[in-house]
Amino acid sequence: MAVLIEAISVVVKRSSVDEKFNGGWQAFADDVPNDTLCADDEIVRVGFMSPADVESYVQHLESLGLTYVRDNMAQGHGCRRPAKRSRDIL
């Protein structure tokens, strides 16, 4: 499992995309709003520079079937900043 994590990254389990995203992997890939998609067989990463863009994208993903947090537990995707500034955004 290896994908590039830089700037602010939305990381999604590939299985969540395959199972829950309407249209599956190809629809997810076509829906990414920029050119930062990076994936392997287990995880998917989409990068952003702005926290506001991240929040908008996460809300978009949730509207399409992915769940960020339920009962205070991450459910299939998360948002991370790299290195020493790493922390949950949402």
Asked if 58 and 90 touch (Cβ cutoff 8 Å), the reply is: yes
Q: Could you list the residue range(s) of the whole structural domain that residue 59 is in?
A: 8-85
User: What's 13-59 look like in SS3?
Assistant: EHHHHHHHCCCHHHHHHHHCCCCCCEECCCEEEEEECCHHHHHHHHH
In a domain, 90, yes or no: no
Residue 1 in any domain: the answer is: no
In a domain, 27, yes or no: yes
Number of structural domains the chain divides into: 1
pLDDT digits (tens, 9 = 90+) for 45-90: 999 999 899 889 988 988 888 876 555 555 455 555 444 443 333 3
27 touches 90 (CB < 8 A): no
Angstrom distance (rounded) from CA 42 to CA 51? 25
| pTM for the model | 0.75
pLDDT, position 35: 95
Tell me what pLDDT residue 76 has: 52
